[in-house]
Amino acid sequence: MVQSTGGIGGSGRGSGRGVLDRRSILRGALFGAGALAVSPLLAACGSGGGGSTDTSKATGTVTFGSNAAVPQPKGAYQTLFAAAEKSTKLTIKPNWVDHNTFQQNISSYLQGNPDDVFNWFAGERMQFFAGQGLVSDVNQVWDTIGGAYTDAMKAQSKGKDGKYYLVPFDYYPWAVFYSKSLWASKGYTVPQTWDQFIALATKMKQDGLVPVSFTDKDGWPAMGTFDYLNMRINGFDFHIDLMRNGDKWNSPQVKQVFDTWSELIPYYSPGFLGMTWQEGAQQLLNKQAGMTVLGLDQIGTIFTGSRADDLAFFAFPEVNSAYGQDAVEAPIDGFMVARSPKNKAGAFKLLEYFGTAAAQQLWLGSNPADIATASGVDTSKYTAPQNAAVKLITGAKQLSQFMDRDTRPDFADPVMLPAIQKFLNSPKDAASIMKNIDQQAKTIFASGS
């Protein structure tokens, strides 16, 4: 509303026909400048909320910001929305955005005119934006849905202030994946420890396979291996501490992670820095490669149909017996509510529905790449890898998210992504790379938020 005042002020006295066009452009510019100037003001007057909202009388339209513009998840969401509209009597107005674009624009999106409910992730990545005061707490929703969630899941849905900000929906584990039929034909057995893992990789190399179909052109897949190595070598607490505080990057512990990692690099796919994860997954599907460290969410979309049950996995091997295979990397996707939604009661009512096992199972449908976060899902409809995933995750002592969800967004991609690529190019330079990460981490984490 305030923006338009700027527009009118700019239009003033107009004269001359040909110029009118340009003037309107100019007005547009002023309009834009007005909007820019006003947004911080709007930020300041966002109400702090408080008090509960009566969701039983919620009606009308709830807008939904979705990061699932591609056909596969989009179709599942459309099915879910149709069922949700029937169940809640609300109208859902989705706004489909490409996955990466959505993430890239999240800060301006949340500060601008966000949808009532939107897709987001657990972990620091959620806490960071909650800490900026850009989202509403959803404690009230949890009063209703809380019973269906484990304590680990509850912990991952809370901000640093102890309030709930996320309603988890689906998640999936990272693990070491392989093709059951290939392993059966070669007689390989699941390794428990790092030494057995390396021995198996050596054996696969002798058999003419690519032992580990690792790829890192995208930059993020390697983060999963770092996370696991760090949790196996230094334990979950050290890992999370490193991710949240960023103050121990130049330490002997991290050095050991990189040193251990360099033992594995010779077994990676040739040309791995020039390949996408899909190309690597293809090597596993075509039985050119023996195993891969990836998320079920990715590899599960490659092994589909009749091949779905050929996909198997084991937990990332133990390196330090003190920490065994305790921690599991299991990124959680879910929903958040904007700071001042237009239909708060409707948003909460919708989330109460999304938080049920029934809604999650409906969304999962035939999707073999994720599992539901709520308990009470009919697991007989799961594929073998999905059931194994449930077992792996429920047996975990701790859950991590993923590097780009566990650490600050302005550190993960700008600093860690290129640093890890650099390390993979020249593992010998680990020491200087770590020193540099440490220097950059100190300036970024010191800048606060």
Partner 1 sequence: MTSTDLAGADAAARRPSAARRPRRVRRLTGADRTVLGLMAGVPTLLTVALVWVPALASVVLSFSNWSGFGSFSSIQWVGTENYKNIFTIYPEFPPAIEHNLLWLAVFFCLPAPVGLFLAVQLDKQIRFSRIYQSVLFLPVVLSLALIGFMTELIFSPTQGLINNLTGHAHHHVIDWIGNPSLNIYAVLVMACWRQTGYVMILFLAGLKSVDPSLKEAAALDGAGGWQTFRHVVWPALRPINIVVLVVTVIESLRAFDIVYIINKGTNGLELLSVLVTDNIIGEASRIGFGSALATILLVISLVFIVPYLISMFRKDQNQ
* Residue 431 near residue 360, CB atoms below 8 Å: no
- 250 contacts partner 1 (rule: CB under 8 A): no
Determine how β-strand 117-121 pairs with β-strand 61-66: parallel
Binders in 294-333 for partner 1, by CB under 8 A: none
- Tally of CB atoms within 10 A around 449: 11
Report the first-to-last Cα separation within the chain, whole angstroms.
Answer: 29
Other Cβ atoms within 10 Å of 1 Cβ, number: 6
Please state the separation of Cα 56 from the chain's center in Å: 32
Determine, following the binding rule CB under 8 A, whether residue 112 of this chain makes contact with partner 1. no
What is the total count of residues that contact partner 1 (CB under 8 A)? Answer: 57
Chosen residue from 1, 13, 44, 86 binding partner 1 by CB under 8 A = 44
Residue with smaller CB distance to partner 1, 78 or 436:
436
The minimum distance between CB 116 and partner 1, in angstroms, equals 20
In the complex with partner 1, the residue whose CB is nearer, 211 or 385, is 211
> With the C-alpha atoms ordered 63, 68, 70, 76, is the resulting torsion angle positive or negative?
negative
Phi, psi (degrees; rounded to nearest 5) at 179: -95, 120
Sequence-distant (6+) residues with CB within 8 A of 70 are 98, 99
User: For residues 375 and 398, what is the distance between their CA atoms, to the nearest angstrom?
Assistant: 18
Regarding 15 and contact with partner 1 (CB under 8 A), the answer is yes
Give the count of alpha carbons within 13 A of 6, CB side only. Answer: 17
The least CB distance from residue 45 to partner 1, in Å, is 11
Contacting residue, 273, 308, 357, 384, with partner 1 by CB under 8 A? 273
Token pair 């409707």 is found at: 346
Six-digit token string for 369: 């790449």
DSSP string, 178-202: EEHHHHHHHT-----BHHHHHHHHH
Looking at the chain, how many residues does it have? 449
Told to check if 265 binds partner 1 by CB under 8 A, we report no
Which parts of 350-379 interact with partner 1 (CB under 8 A)?
none
- Minimum distance of partner 1 from residue 181's CB (angstroms): 21
Read off the tokens for 91.
């109208």
User: Would you say 312 or 430 has its CB closer to partner 1?
Assistant: 430
Amino acid at 384: A
The residue among 162 and 270 lying less far from partner 1, judged by its C-beta, is 270
The residue from 66, 88, 103, 356 that contacts partner 1 (CB under 8 A) is 103
Token pair listed for 16: 């001359």
Residue number, 106 or 328, with CB nearest to partner 1: 106
Q: Which of residues 190-249 bind partner 1 (CB under 8 A)?
A: 216-219
Which range in 21-29, 149-157, 223-231, 344-352 contacts partner 1 by CB under 8 A? 21-29
User: Among 75-83, 88-96, 323-331, 407-415, which window interacts with partner 1 (CB under 8 A)?
Assistant: 407-415
- Kind and range of the H or E run holding 311: strand 311-314
- When the beta carbons of 376 and 414 are compared against partner 1, the nearer one is 414
Does the footprint of partner 1 cover residue 23 (CB under 8 A)? yes
Q: Which residues bind partner 1 (CB under 8 A)?
A: 15-16, 19, 22-23, 25-26, 29-30, 33, 40-41, 43-44, 103-108, 111, 125, 128, 132, 134, 216-219, 269-275, 279, 283, 408-410, 413-414, 417-419, 421-422, 425, 433, 436, 439-440, 443-444, 447, 449
